[in-house]
């Protein structure tokens, strides 16, 4: 049973470009969460999604950031017009409907030049 998959593992963007981060949850999981970890800091919750629905986006910056989890395909975290402060590790986690245990992917390390 494959774990949570994220790609790309490393992403380099210049200021002003767009970044798209993808997350495929574990098989059978219908809940996806995105977290961000800035250098030398703990993880911070960003958004919680179920298929085609955003359940909780209280941790998402108000501008430039968006997330989706379509009926088919992976969840996407999109960052428009990236700035240097967006450089961080972005982790995706998934869980199933019956438990509250979240399983994390390996993360995407975004570097903004």
Partner 1 sequence: LAKTTQPISMDSYEGQEVNITCSHNNIATNDYITWYQQFPSQGPRFIIQGYKTKVTNEVASLFIPADRKSSTLSLPRVSLSDTAVYYCLVGTNLNQGGKLIFGQGTELSVKP
Cα first-last separation, the chain: 37
**Which of 25, 48, 82, 110 contacts partner 1 by CB under 8 A?**
48
Largest Cα–Cα separation, the chain: 42
Segment lying near partner 1 (by CB under 8 A), choices 11-19, 50-58, 65-73, 79-87: 50-58
Task: Specify whether the CB–CB gap between 59 and 47 falls below 8 A.
Answer: yes
Q: Tell which positions 16-45 bind partner 1, by CB under 8 A.
A: 31, 33, 35, 42-45
List all residues 6 or more positions away from 85 whose beta carbon is below 8 Å from its beta carbon.
112
Q: How far is the CB of 71 from partner 1 (least distance, A)?
A: 20
Q: How far is the CB of 78 from partner 1 (least distance, A)?
A: 20
Q: Rg (Cα) of the chain, in Å, rounded?
A: 13
Binding site for partner 1 (CB under 8 A): 4, 31, 33, 35, 42-45, 48, 55-56, 58-59, 89, 91, 93, 95, 99-107, 109
């Amino acid at each position: 049973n494959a774990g949570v998959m994220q790609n790309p593992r490393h992403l380099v963007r210049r200021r002003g470009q767009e970044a798209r981060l993808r997350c495929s949850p574990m098989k059978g999981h219908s809940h996806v969460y995105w977290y961000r970890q800035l250098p030398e800091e703990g993880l911070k919750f960003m958004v919680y999604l179920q298929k085609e629905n955003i359940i909780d986006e209280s941790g998402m910056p108000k501008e430039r950031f968006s997330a989706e989890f379509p009926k088919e395909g992976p969840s996407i975290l999109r960052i428009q017009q990236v700035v240097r402060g967006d450089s961080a590790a972005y982790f995706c986690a998934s869980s199933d409907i019956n438990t509250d245990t979240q399983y994390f992917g390996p993360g995407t390390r975004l570097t903004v030049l």
